[in-house]
Structure 1
Amino acid sequence: MDWSTIFKTFAYGLRMDASMAAYICALPALTVATQLWLKRPIIPKRAAQVYVWVVIGISSLITIINLNIYREWDTLFSYKAIDIFLDAPQLAFASASSSPIWLSLSLLVMLIVIGLLLAKGLGIYTFAWPVTAAWPIKAITSFGVLVIVFLFIRGGWGLTPLNSSMVYFTTEAFPNHAATNVVWYLMNDVVHAKGQATNPYRVMDDRRTTEILKPLLTTEGKSPRILTNDRPNIVFILLESFTADLIEALGGEKGVAPRFEQLIKEGILFDQIYASGDRTDKGIIAALSAFPSQSSQSIIKSIHKQEGLPSLVKDFAQKGYHTSFYYGGESEFYNFKGYMLSHACDRVVDQYSFAAREVKSKWGVFDELTFNRQLQDLSKEKEPFFSTILSLNNHEPFDLPGAHKFGKDNLPDLFRSTAYYTDSVLYDYLHRAKAMPWYKHTLFVIVADHGHRLPLEKWDSNHPKRYHIPLLFYGDVIGTAYRGKRIDQLGSQVDIASTLCHQAGLSSDAYVWSRDLLNPTTKPFAFFTWANGWGVVDTACALGFDNVGKVLTYTSGEQACDEKSPLFKSGQAYMQAVYQQYLTY
C-alpha cells in the first residue's frame, strides 16, 4: 500500500476504534458515574488493574490470532473461526501449524507489555473523580459521561449505527480489512452469530435436496437474443418497495404509477416475478448476486460471507465495465457500501456526496437529486458501464419534496403518494436519458427491491402477492421485435443474473440459483422468505410455511398444496440448501 492508502486505513478505521474503546470504557464509565455519588470507592484499585490487564491480554490475543487467520484465509477473525475450533480443535491447530509461531508469540508479548506500560504511564488505576461537587454538577457529569460513551459505541447520532461497511473506502479488500477493528468485528460477529452454526431448516439428506432441486435449476438449449448490442451499458435500477399492487398492468391499482404503464409499452415486462425476501438488504443480494434470501439471516451484514458471493457488478467490472452505485441515503446502511466496494464497484455515491442543505429527507436526499446525479455522472462516464441506483423515498415516513398526490390521511395514501413520486422521477430520468449519446447502447433493468403490504394492507408475510414485483427491461438496445412484449415466465429476482449474463455474453455458471427467464425450458418456480418462514409458487399452487411453528400457514391453487405435495418438498429442499450454502460462506 502507498502512504495515502495507509493514512486512510487509520483515518477511516478511527470511528470503529473509538467505538471499541467506548465498549471497553463502558463499565469504568458506569463505575465513575456511580462513584460521584458515594464517599468510598466501590471498586478497589486491584480490581481496576485486573480489568485493564484482562482487556489488554484479550485484545492482544485477538489481534495476533487475526494476523495468522488473515494470513491463511484472507478474512478477519470471525465467529466462523471460533466455531471451527470448537468443532474440531485438532484441525484448527493443524491449520495453524504453518503460522510463524515464535513471531506470533513475540508480537503477543510485545503488545501486552506496551499496553501495560501505557496503562501505568497514564495513571488510569489511580484516576478518581472529586466527590465534593454539588449535586447538579454530579448529575450533569454522570449523565454526560454515559451519553458520550453511548454515542461513541453507536458511532455517532446518525440514522445508522456503526457497522463494518462504514470503514470501507476502496474496492481493494486488504485496506478495508486493515481499517476494520478486529476486536469490534469479532464481538459484533459473535453477537449476530445466532443460527449461523447449524442449519435450522435441515429436514432431509443433502443428496435428496440435490435430487429435488436439479430439475428446478436446470435449463437446456439457448435463449432468444433480444439485444442488438453484444456489449451494452447496464443501468440497474432498484425501486424501493415498488410492489406489483402499484401497477395496473400487473393487477394493481390504476393511476398510482401511470408513467410506468407507458414504459411497459416500450420495454419487455416480466409479469410473474417475485421478490426473494422482504427487505432491501435481501433484495440487493438476490438481484445482483442471485443468492436467495436466507429467511432468518441476511448475508450482506457479514463482511466475510458476502465477499464470497458472485456479483454482477464484479463480473461486468472484470469485462472492462466501469462500475458505480448510487443511493440517496447512508450507503453504510445494512453494509450496502461494503458489499459494493468488495465487489469491484469503482464509485459509491450516497447522501454524503451531496451538500448538507440538500439532505432534506429523513433518509437522505430525495430521489430526484440522486437520479439527476447519476445522469450527470454517466454523461461523463467512459463506456461501457454498469451502474446501479437504489431509490429511497417510497419508504416510511413517506416524506416528499412537494405535495402528496393522494393526501396524508392514512398510510396507504402516503404510500401511494411516494410511489407516484418514484414513478414520476423514474419517467423523467429515462426521458432525459434519451438525449444522452450513450442511451442507444444502454439496457435499463428496472426491478423492485421487495414487495409490500401497502397499499392494500391485506397481504400477510406468508402471502405470495406480497412478493409479486415488476421487472422491466427497457431501452433502445432491445430489438424492435421485442419491445412491448410481456414474458409470463414465473420466476424470481435471482433469475435476473442468468438472464442478463446470457444476453451480454457472460458466463452464468457462478449463479447456481439463477435461471434464464427467456429460456423456454426454465421451470416456472419462485421462492421467497420472511423472518423464519418461507414460501414457494408454481403455476399450479402456492404455499407458505412457518418454521417456528413448523406448520403451513398459507395454501392456494388448483391442486392440493399440503406437506405431501411435490411443491412443499421443493420448498423444503430449497430453504435447506440455501441456508447451508450461507453457512459455508
Structure 2
Amino acid sequence: MSKRLKFIVATFVVSLLMSVVNRVVFILYNYTMIAAECSFVELLQCFRHGLVLDLSIAGYLTALPLLATIVTVWQPASWRKTKVWQRVMNSYFAVIVFIVAVIECGDIGLFEAWQARIDAQVFIYTPKEMMASLTLANILGALAYIGVTVVVLFYLFSRISSRWFLPQVCEERYKPLRASAYTFILIIAAGLLFLAMRGGTTTATANVSKVHFSHRSMLNKIAINPIFSLIESATTGDDLARFDYFSFKKAEEIFANSLHCSEAQSDITNARWLTMERPNIVVVVMEGMGCTITESYEGEEPVTPNLTALQNEGIWFENMYASSFRTDRGNVAIFSGFPGQPTMSIMKLAKRASKLPGIAAALNSVGYSTRFFYGGDSNFTNTRAYLYSTGYMEVIDEKRMSLEGHRSKWGYADDAVLDYAAEEIISRIESSDAPCFETILTLSSHEPYEVPYKRLEDARLNSFAYTDECIGDFVDKLRNSAAWENMLLILVPDHSTLYPTSIGNHSSERHRIPMMWLGGAVREHIVVDEYMSQTDIAATLLAQLDIDHSEFIFSRDICAPGCAHFAYWTYPVGFGIIDSEGKTIYDSASDKVLVEEGVNHDERIEVGKAWLEKTFIEIRKM
C-alpha cells in the first residue's frame, strides 16, 4: 500500500515541479522585458503567490492516476495484468505531457506579443494564422522545447509508474476489510487532492484572480499558471455575462450619461471639415502603426518620415486611441463603431457579427460603391464574412490580385498591394460618377517583420519604415491624379504595437494611435486635440456627410454639441479611459486600479464598467 501512496505523491510532486520549472523558463525567456520591471525578490513572490494555481493543476493531473490506484485495490484477478495497466498509464502520461508542453511553449512564445498569459483567445486564430507570425528560428525553437519537455516529463512519470504503481497491480486481491482500509486512506488522499484542485477551503474556488497580489501587472502575469489560465478562459470565455457589474437599468443609465456632457464645448463643436457632401473616401488601415512607432527614431533616423510630414496637412488627430489590441477587433471598432472585447472577438462569431452596423452599409444607402483590399487571406478571423455582412460590395484579397513581387507569410508586400489599389481606385473614380468608399488593410508591419527593404537595423522598426514609405508613395500617386480633388483619404491603424515592450499591454501609450484626414475634400489644416476612440470614427465621418449614424450606439460624433470627449480601450483583462483631466486603467481580473493619474477615478471606473457591460449586453442581443 505504501507504494501506491508513493506513486500518488510522486505524481503530484512532479506535476507541481513542472509548473515551477515552467515559470523559471518563462522568466528566463522573457528576461529582458521582465528584468526591466521586477527585482529578484519580487520574482520570488510570484512563485509563492502562484503556488495556489500550480497546486490546482497538479491536483487535476494526479486525479486520474489516483482513480486508477483505487481501482487496482478492488480489481478482479482477470484485471491483474501489468502490460495492460502499463499501456493505460503510459498512454495517459504521453497525452498529458504533450498537451502541457504545447501549452507552455505557446505561452512562452506569445507573451512578448500579447503581454498576457495564454488563454482561450489562442483558439480564435487558426494554426496557419499563428504560424504566419513565426520565423523558422521560432518554429525550430518551439519544436525543440516541446520535444525536450515531452521526453523529460514522460521519462519521470513512466519511472514513477513502473517503480511504485505497476508492482502493485499483480498483487493478490486484498481481503474486503483490508481493501476497505486502503480505500479509506486513498479517499483521504482524494480529499486532499480535491482541496488542491479547488484552491483551498475558502468559498472562492481556484481562479486566475487568486494569484494577483501586486499593483504591478507584470508580477501578477508571472504568477499565473498558463495551463490553468487556458482551461479557465476556455470554460468561461462564452459567458457573455461575466462583465455584469450593475443592474441592466443602471448600466444603461451610466452608459447613456457618459456620451454627453452639458459643459462640453470645444473649438470643433459644429465644425464642418469637408468642402463637399459626397467625396470619394479612401481609408488605409495601417497594421500596428501606433504613435510609439511614428514618434520613434533609430539614432537620428525617424522611423516614419512620411507619416510625420503628412501630419502637417489636412486634419491631424492628436489624441486618438485604439479600441483594442488585435486587427479583427480594430476593424470592427473602425467600421462598425463597436468596442473591442477583452476576452473574445465578435468578428469570430459570424452570426452575431453579421448584425453589426457598418460604415460601408451606411454609404451604400446613399449611392456609394464599396470595396476592401487586403494582400492576404481575407478569411483570416472571419474577416470576409464580416466585411460582406457590414456592407462591402467587393472584397479583393490575394486570390484576386495575382501580383508580382515579395510575399511574406501573411501575403503580398505593402508596396505591391498599395500600387495595385491606387490604380484600381483612380480608375474607378475616373470612370464612374458614383462616389466610392475604398479600404486598404496593410500587412507588412507584422511579425515576423520580413520586408523587401533595409533602412533601419531593428527588424521591427524597419518593417514600419517600409510601410511608411509605401504609404508615402501611395499618397503621392493619389495626389498626382485628378482623383485627389474630390477625395477624403483617412489614414488610421487597426491597433498600436507593443513598442517598446516596457510600456505594458494595458497602458495608454500602447493604445495611442495616429489618425489623419487628407485630400482635396478637406477644407483646411487643423489639429484636433479632443480625446477620441476608433469607435468614434463612424459617427464623426457620417455626421460630416449628413448621413444618419444612430445605429452606431457606441460611436460619438466628436463635433456634436455636448459630446463627452474621452477615449476608452480594452486589453486582455481590463479597460482604460483617458480624458483631459486624467486617466484610469482598471484590471477586472484582480479588481484593482493599475493606473490613476489626475482626478475623477471613481467616475471613470464606473463609466468603464458600464461600457464593458453594455458591450456584452449588445452582443447578447445579436
TM-score when normalising by structure 1: 0.63
Alignment of 1:202-351 (within 5 A): 202-218=244-260, 223-248=270-295, 255-351=302-398
Which structure has the greater CA radius of gyration?
Answer: 2
1:490 aligned to 2:531? yes
Percent of residue pairs identical: 27
Q: CA deviation at 1:253?
A: 9.4
* CA distance in 1 between partners of 2:553 and 2:277 (Å): 23
* Matched residue, 2:611: 574
* Matched residue, 1:557: 597
**Cα distance change, pair 159–274 in 1 and its aligned pair in 2 (3 A):** closer
Alignment of 1:519-534 (within 5 A): 519=560, 521-534=562-575
Contact 1:248 1:254 in 2 (8 A): no
Q: CA deviation at 1:571?
A: 0.9
**Cα distance change, pair 155–550 in 1 and its aligned pair in 2 (3 A):** closer
* CA distance in 1 between partners of 2:126 and 2:337 (Å): 34
Contact 1:247 1:253 in 2 (8 A): no
Contact 2:347 2:353 in 1 (8 A): yes
Contact 1:160 1:333 in 2 (8 A): no
Q: CA deviation at 1:156?
A: 11
* Matched residue, 1:145: none
1:468 aligned to 2:536? no
* Matched residue, 2:71: none
What SS does the corresponding residue of 2:570 show, helix, strand or coil? strand
Q: Which residue of the other structure, out of 230, 234, 238, is the alignment partner of 1:196? A: 238
Contact 2:372 2:396 in 1 (8 A): yes
Over the aligned positions, Cα root-mean-square deviation in angstroms equals: 2.6
What SS does the corresponding residue of 2:501 show, helix, strand or coil? coil
Q: Which residue of the other structure, out of 534, 544, 548, is the alignment partner of 1:507? A: 548
**1:417 maps to amino acid:** N
Contact 1:499 1:518 in 2 (8 A): yes
**2:243 maps to amino acid:** Y
Unaligned runs of 5+ in 1: 1-153, 162-190, 408-412
Q: CA deviation at 1:195?
A: 3.4
Q: CA deviation at 1:557?
A: 1.4
**Cα distance change, pair 356–254 in 1 and its aligned pair in 2 (3 A):** closer
* CA distance in 1 between partners of 2:609 and 2:127 (Å): 42
* CA distance in 2 between partners of 1:340 and 1:253 (Å): 41
Alignment of 1:145-184 (within 5 A): 159=129
Contact 1:542 1:557 in 2 (8 A): yes
Q: Which residue of the other structure, out of 450, 453, 471, is the alignment partner of 1:399? A: 450
Tell me the alpha carbon deviations over residues 534-565 of structure 1, each in whole angstroms, 9 at most, x when there is no partner: 2222222222222222222x21312263xxx1
* Matched residue, 2:503: 459
* CA distance in 2 between partners of 1:558 and 1:156 (Å): 42
**Cα distance change, pair 538–418 in 1 and its aligned pair in 2 (3 A):** same
* CA distance in 2 between partners of 1:247 and 1:155 (Å): 28
* CA distance in 2 between partners of 1:521 and 1:249 (Å): 35
Contact 1:327 1:389 in 2 (8 A): yes
**Cα distance change, pair 358–258 in 1 and its aligned pair in 2 (3 A):** closer
* Matched residue, 1:384: 435
Tell me the alpha carbon deviations over residues 202-233 of structure 1, each in whole angstroms, 9 at most, x when there is no partner: 11112212222223213789621111111111
Contact 1:280 1:450 in 2 (8 A): yes
**1:345 maps to amino acid:** Y
Contact 1:249 1:261 in 2 (8 A): no
* CA distance in 2 between partners of 1:156 and 1:239 (Å): 22
Q: CA deviation at 1:160?
A: 7.5
Q: CA deviation at 1:196?
A: 3.3
Q: CA deviation at 1:279?
A: 0.4
**1:578 maps to amino acid:** T
* CA distance in 2 between partners of 1:247 and 1:283 (Å): 18
* CA distance in 1 between partners of 2:531 and 2:126 (Å): 45
**1:579 maps to amino acid:** F
Q: CA deviation at 1:335?
A: 1.1
* CA distance in 2 between partners of 1:281 and 1:211 (Å): 29
Contact 1:267 1:472 in 2 (8 A): yes
Contact 2:404 2:416 in 1 (8 A): no
